[in-house]
Structure 1
Amino acid sequence: MFIKIKKNSGIQMEHNGLEKGRLVPVTSNFLLNLDQVAEVSFYTIKERKTRLDLEGHELELPLQSRVIHLQMAYLYATYKETINGNKGRLVERQYYKLYFAPENVDTYEELRNLIEAQVGNL
């Protein structure tokens, strides 16, 4: 199943394709294949956190912002053969973190319910 993240829906995003700590608004529609997601976390920001926008300006995330963290399967990973000059293999799976401001809770709940509809609870 695919989920469509719509542009200009008030969602901010962080992922491995950006520099660490960068946060960007979703400015174009894109699809995520839930069949390629290995882990999903839902949480609320309860302490002060800052990120940078694309121009390097500091952004403070509002308290009570909601986050959906999608960790992709190992098929969507990068491999490093040397780590700090030593031989070895580091596997870094791709991830997407979707941030929803407190006033955007309806969009968060809608997306969360779609994801949870694919989960079997025992």
Structure 2
Amino acid sequence: MFIKIKKNSGIQMEHNGLEQRHLVPVTSNFLLNLNHIAEISFYSIKERKTRFDLEGHELDLPAQTHVIHLQMSYLYATYKDNINGNKGRLVERQYYKLYFAPENVDTYQELRSLIEEQVGNL
């Protein structure tokens, strides 16, 4: 099943393709294939955090910012055979974090409920 994330919906996104602690606004529609996601976490930030936009300007994420963390399956991972000059294998799975400001709770709840409809609870 696919879920469509709409542009200009007030969602900020972080993923492996960006430098650490950088966020980008969702400025174009994209589809998430739930069949390729291995783990999903829902949580809220408990204290203010600082992130950066693509130009290096600080962005403050207030407390109670909601996050949906999507960890992709191992098919969407990068493998490194050398880690700091040592032999070994590092598997880094791709992830996406969607940040919803406290005033954007309706969008967060809508997306969360769509995902949870696909989950069987025991």
- TM-score, length of structure 1 as denominator length: 0.98
Q: Per-residue deviation at 1:50?
A: 0.7
What is the CA–CA distance in structure 2 between the aligned matches of 1:93 and 1:112, rounded to whole Å?
A: 22
Cα deviation for residue 5 of structure 1 reads: 0.6
Tell me the alpha carbon deviations over residues 23-64 of structure 1, each in whole angstroms, 9 at most, x when there is no partner.
010000001100000000000011121101000011110111
Match of 2:52?
52
Structure 1 residue matching 2:21: 3-state secondary structure: coil
Partner SS state of residue 17, structure 2: coil
1:84 counterpart residue number: 84
Tell me the amino acid that sits aligned with residue 60 of structure 1.
D
Identity between Structure 1 and Structure 2 (%): 84
1:12 aligned counterpart, secondary structure: strand
Runs of 4+ in 1 over 4 A off after TM superposition: none
The count of aligned residue pairs is 122
- Determine the C-alpha separation between the residues in 2 that align with 1:50 and 1:41: 21
2:67, 2:48 → 1: CA distance?
A: 14
- Distance in 1, matches of 2:46 and 2:95, equals 21
Which stretches in structure 1 are left out of the alignment for 5+ residues?
Answer: none
Partner of 1:34: 34
Question: Counterparts of 1:1-122 in structure 2 under 5 Å?
Answer: 1-122=1-122
Gaps of 5+ in 2: none
